[in-house]
């Protein structure tokens, strides 16, 4: 049995009357053969992913996807994005070689019938020239590594933590500053509880602000007995825990491709009209027949707040001076085995975070 405890941090929230609406883009880098199974797992949940691929790797080694597998991922409704031809560290190349890696990758995909509109930089390393070249090649976004905050995450070298960064990208947005570069979150070591914690925090902040938030998560390889485990590994079982959480919060969180968000944001109109476009995108990607979860209410007396899919065993909420104090009595953990996820209660002391506006 594979076990992973998902720790939910208690949060001090300003009470709002909004409804949470969070978009999540799961991105998978490097053209790895395990991604064929990852794509099928996403499809089994009626969810979409974004697969950033290197055209020069396709079919060249048993570690990498074959062309039929790449085309199958595309036909499954997922987005194929560009990740350079050879996964080069662009900061070590001349401008001409950077151009060949970035624009050449898009050209190679065009030749096999795939339009790549979004780009992810390898190793998270880039310069202003790199961004300018990506724009000149026609890409609509440039995904960086980092830039999304993880409240309560340990500030150590073990994590790719962005202290003081926002909990997600607010949409709709004006201009392209939010896309060049596009913020994301990738922990240097895979800790499922931190991803769940970030999702829950974004969900709560979205409700407080009554606005859409967009989270972009980065993963690389699935665990492989042949190739070992990297510091950004995600197993299918671990991914399913995240997908279960999203399914359990279906009325507030949904998965989307980067292309879909960018295309929706391009709509010109009033604020209400643009919000309506994102409403349509959200509802179009909701999972059918999912369970309704938490809501926030203003109150002056003790109340109970249902935090939904994390199965909190006892959560007391008290409004004090315009703030809602949540106290965990105990938490439940998400535990997964090879066949299915089960919920198991554990005793856990709650930490406290202040959710700044």
Per-residue pLDDT tens over the stretch 74-115: 999 999 999 999 999 999 999 999 999 999 999 999 999 999
Full set of structural domains in the chain with CATH: 22-284 (3.20.20.370)
Closest CA to 82 of 146, 141, 23: 141
Q: Measure the CA–CA gap between 235 and 288, rounded to whole angstroms.
A: 25
Rg (CA), the chain: 20
State the pTM of this model.
0.77
Is the preceding peptide bond at 37 cis, omega within 30 degrees of 0? Answer: no
| Contact (Cβ atoms closer than 8 angstroms) between residue 218 and residue 184 | yes
Mean pLDDT of 162-178: 88
pLDDT in tens, 312-322: 223 333 333 33
Question: pLDDT: is 309 or 80 the higher one?
Answer: 80
Q: Cβ(343)–Cβ(334) under 8 Å?
A: yes
Q: Would you say residue 5 has pLDDT above 80?
A: no
Q: Is the pLDDT of residue 67 over 80?
A: yes
Average pLDDT, rounded, for the chain: 75
């Amino acid at each position: 049995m594979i076990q992973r405890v998902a720790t939910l941090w208690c949060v001090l929230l300003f009470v709002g009357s909004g409804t949470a609406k969070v978009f999540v883009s799961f991105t998978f880098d490097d053209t790895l053969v395990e991604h064929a199974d990852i794509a099928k797992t996403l499809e089994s949940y009626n969810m979409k992913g974004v697969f950033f691929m290197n055209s020069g790797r396709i079919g060249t080694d048993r570690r990498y996807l074959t062309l039929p597998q790449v085309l199958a991922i595309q036909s499954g409704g997922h987005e194929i994005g560009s990740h350079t031809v050879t996964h080069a560290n662009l900061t070590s190349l001349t401008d001409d070689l950077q151009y060949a890696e970035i624009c050449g990758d898009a050209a190679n995909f065009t030749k096999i019938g795939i339009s790549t509109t979004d780009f992810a930089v390898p190793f998270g390393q880039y310069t202003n020239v790199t961004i300018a070249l990506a724009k000149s090649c026609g890409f609509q976004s440039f995904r960086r590594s980092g830039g999304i905050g993880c409240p309560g995450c340990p500030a150590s070298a073990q994590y790719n933590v962005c202290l003081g960064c926002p909990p997600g990208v607010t949409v709709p947005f004006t201009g392209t500053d939010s896309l060049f570069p596009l913020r994301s979150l990738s922990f240097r070591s895979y800790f499922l509880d931190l991803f769940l914690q970030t999702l829950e925090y974004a969900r709560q902040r979205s409700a407080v602000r009554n606005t859409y938030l967009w989270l972009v998560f980065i993963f690389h390889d699935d665990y492989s007995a042949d190739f070992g485990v990297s510091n950004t590994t995600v197993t299918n079982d671990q991914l399913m825990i995240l997908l279960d959480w999203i399914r359990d919060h279906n009325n507030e969180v949904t998965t989307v491709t980067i292309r879909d968000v960018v295309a929706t944001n391009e709509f010109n109109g009033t604020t209400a009209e643009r919000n309506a476009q994102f409403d349509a995108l959200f509802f179009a990607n909701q999972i059918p027949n999912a369970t309704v979860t938490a809501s926030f209410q203003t109150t002056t007396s003790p109340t109970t707040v249902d935090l939904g899919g994390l199965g909190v065993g006892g959560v007391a909420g008290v409004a004090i001076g315009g703030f809602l104090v949540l106290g965990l009595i105990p938490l439940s953990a998400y535990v997964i085995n090879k066949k299915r996820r089960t919920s198991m209660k554990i005793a856990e002391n709650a930490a406290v975070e202040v959710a700044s506006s």
